[in-house]
Amino acid sequence: MCKSGEVSFKQNADDVPVRVSVVISVLAWLALLPLISLELELELELDSMAMQRAQDGSCLHALVFVYSLCWVCSVGFVVGQTGQLSVDASSQNARKIPDKMFGIFFEEINHAGAGGLWAELVSNRGFEAGGPNTPSNIDPWVIIGNESSIIVGTDRTSCFERNPVALRMEVLCGSKGTDACPSGGVGVYNPGYWGMNIERRKVYKVTLHIRSSDAVSLSVSLTSSDGLRKLASHTITGSKKQFAKWTKIEFHLKSSQNNTNSRLQLTTSRSGVIWLDQVSVMPFDTYMGHGFRKDLASMLANLKPQFLKFPGGNYAMGNYLRNAFQWSETVGSWEERPGHFNDVWGYWTDDGLGFFEFLQLAEDLGASPVWVVNDGASQNEEVSTATIASLVKDVVDGIEFARGGPNTTWGSVRAAMGHPEPFKLDYVSIGNQECWMLYYRGNYQKFYSAIKAAYPGINVISSCDKSTISPSNPADLYDVHVYASSSDMFSRTSMFDNTPRSGPKVCSNAILRWLYLICMLRISTPRNDFGSSMARQAIVSEYAVTGDDAGKGTLVAALAEAAFLVGLEKNSDVVEMASCAPLFVNDNDRRWSPDAIVFNSWQNYGCPNYWMLHFFKDSSGAMLHPSSVQISNYDQLVASAITWQSSQDKSSHLKIKVVNFGSKAVDLNISVSGLENGIKSSGSKKTVLTSSGALDENSFQQPQKVAPVSSPIDNAMQQMGVSLGPYSLTSFDLLLEPSKLHSTM
Ligand code: AHR
Q: Is the CB of 432 under 6 A from ligand 1?
A: yes
Ligand 1 atom nearest 314 alpha carbon:
6
Tell me which DSSP letter residue 107 carries: -
Q: What is the pLDDT of residues 295-332, one digit of tens each?
A: 999 999 999 999 999 999 999 999 999 999 999 999 99
- Which pLDDT band holds residue 17 (cuts at 50, 70, 90)? very low
Do 601 and 196 meet the contact criterion of CB atoms below 8 Å apart?
A: yes
Do 449 and 482 meet the contact criterion of CB atoms below 8 Å apart?
A: no
Give the model's pLDDT for residue 299: 99
Pocket test for ligand 1, best of 309, 585, 592 (most atoms within 8 A of CB): 592
Q: Are strands 230-238 and 340-342 parallel, antiparallel or unpaired?
A: unpaired
Q: Whose CA is nearest to atom 7 of ligand 1?
A: 313
Please state whether the peptide bond connecting residue 182 to the residue before it is cis, i.e. omega within 30 degrees of 0.
no
Tell me, in angstroms, the distance from the centre of ligand 1 to residue 389's CA: 27
Helix (H) or strand (E) holding 233: strand 230-238
- Which pLDDT band holds residue 501 (cuts at 50, 70, 90)? confident
Do 626 and 93 meet the contact criterion of CB atoms below 8 Å apart?
A: yes
Tell me, in angstroms, the distance from the centre of ligand 1 to residue 481's CA: 8
Beta-bridge partner residues of 585: 598
Q: What is the pLDDT of residues 339-371, one digit of tens each?
A: 999 999 999 999 999 999 999 999 999 999 999
Is residue 741's pLDDT more than 70? no
Tell me, in angstroms, the distance from the centre of ligand 1 to residue 592's CA: 9
Q: What is the pLDDT of residues 605-629, one digit of tens each?
A: 999 999 999 999 999 999 999 999 9
Ligand 1 atom nearest 581 alpha carbon:
1
C-alpha dihedral, 423 to 313 to 316 to 429, nearest 10°: 50
* CB atoms near residue 64 (< 10 Å): 14
User: Measured between alpha carbons, how far is residue 240 from residues 53, 163, 246, 270, 319 in Å?
Assistant: 119, 25, 12, 12, 46
Q: Is the CB of 107 under 6 A from ligand 1?
A: yes
Give the model's pLDDT for residue 35: 40
Do 277 and 154 meet the contact criterion of CB atoms below 8 Å apart?
A: no
Helix (H) or strand (E) holding 64: helix 50-79
Pairwise CA distance, residues 722 & 739, whole Å: 26
Q: Is the CB of 312 under 6 A from ligand 1?
A: yes
Q: Is the CB of 582 under 6 A from ligand 1?
A: yes
Supply φ then ψ for residue 230, to 5 degrees: -90, 130
Q: Is the CB of 330 under 6 A from ligand 1?
A: no
Q: Is the CB of 581 under 6 A from ligand 1?
A: yes
Q: Is the CB of 314 under 6 A from ligand 1?
A: yes
Do 469 and 535 meet the contact criterion of CB atoms below 8 Å apart?
A: yes
Pairwise CA distance, residues 109 & 107, whole Å: 5
Do 624 and 616 meet the contact criterion of CB atoms below 8 Å apart?
A: no
Is residue 4's pLDDT more than 70? no
pTM of the model: 0.87
Tell me, in angstroms, the distance from the centre of ligand 1 to residue 240's CA: 52
Do 255 and 243 meet the contact criterion of CB atoms below 8 Å apart?
A: no
Q: What is the pLDDT of residues 387-428, one digit of tens each?
A: 999 999 999 999 999 999 999 999 999 999 999 999 999 999
Q: Is the CB of 592 under 6 A from ligand 1?
A: yes
- Which pLDDT band holds residue 79 (cuts at 50, 70, 90)? low
Tell me, in angstroms, the distance from the centre of ligand 1 to residue 105's CA: 10
Tell me, in angstroms, the distance from the centre of ligand 1 to residue 433's CA: 9
Beta-bridge partner residues of 237: 217
Tell me, in angstroms, the distance from the centre of ligand 1 to residue 358's CA: 18
Sequence-ordered strand ranges (E) for 340-442 = 340-342, 347-349, 368-373, 427-430
Question: What does the angle CA 588 – CA 590 – CA 591 come to, to the nearest 5 degrees?
Answer: 140
Q: Are strands 537-545 and 575-578 parallel, antiparallel or unpaired?
A: parallel
Is residue 45's pLDDT more than 60? no
Tell me, in angstroms, the distance from the centre of ligand 1 to residue 543's CA: 9
Q: What is the pLDDT of residues 56-77, one digit of tens each?
A: 444 445 444 444 444 444 433 4
Q: Select from 599, 604, 606, 670 the least CA-distant residue to 641.
A: 670
Tell me, in angstroms, the distance from the centre of ligand 1 to residue 143's CA: 37
Give the model's pLDDT for residue 561: 99
Tell me, in angstroms, the distance from the centre of ligand 1 to residue 179's CA: 55
Q: Whose CA is nearest to atom 8 of ligand 1?
A: 313
- The string over 217-254, giving b where at least 16 C-beta atoms fall within 10 Å of a residue's C-beta and e elsewhere, is bbbbbbbbeebeebbbeeebebeeeebeebbebeeebe
Q: Is the CB of 369 under 6 A from ligand 1?
A: no
Ligand 1 atom nearest 107 alpha carbon:
6
Pairwise CA distance, residues 660 & 635, whole Å: 9
Q: Sort 606 into a burial class: Cβ within 10 Å, 0-12 / 13-18 / 19+.
A: buried
Mean residue pLDDT across the chain:
88
Q: Whose CA is nearest to atom 9 of ligand 1?
A: 313
User: Measured between alpha carbons, how far is residue 224 from residues 182, 189, 191, 235, 589 in Å?
Assistant: 18, 11, 10, 18, 22
Tell me, in angstroms, the distance from the centre of ligand 1 to residue 482's CA: 10
Give the model's pLDDT for residue 740: 54
Q: Whose CA is nearest to atom 4 of ligand 1?
A: 313
Pocket test for ligand 1, best of 319, 432, 595 (most atoms within 8 A of CB): 432
- Which pLDDT band holds residue 264 (cuts at 50, 70, 90)? very high
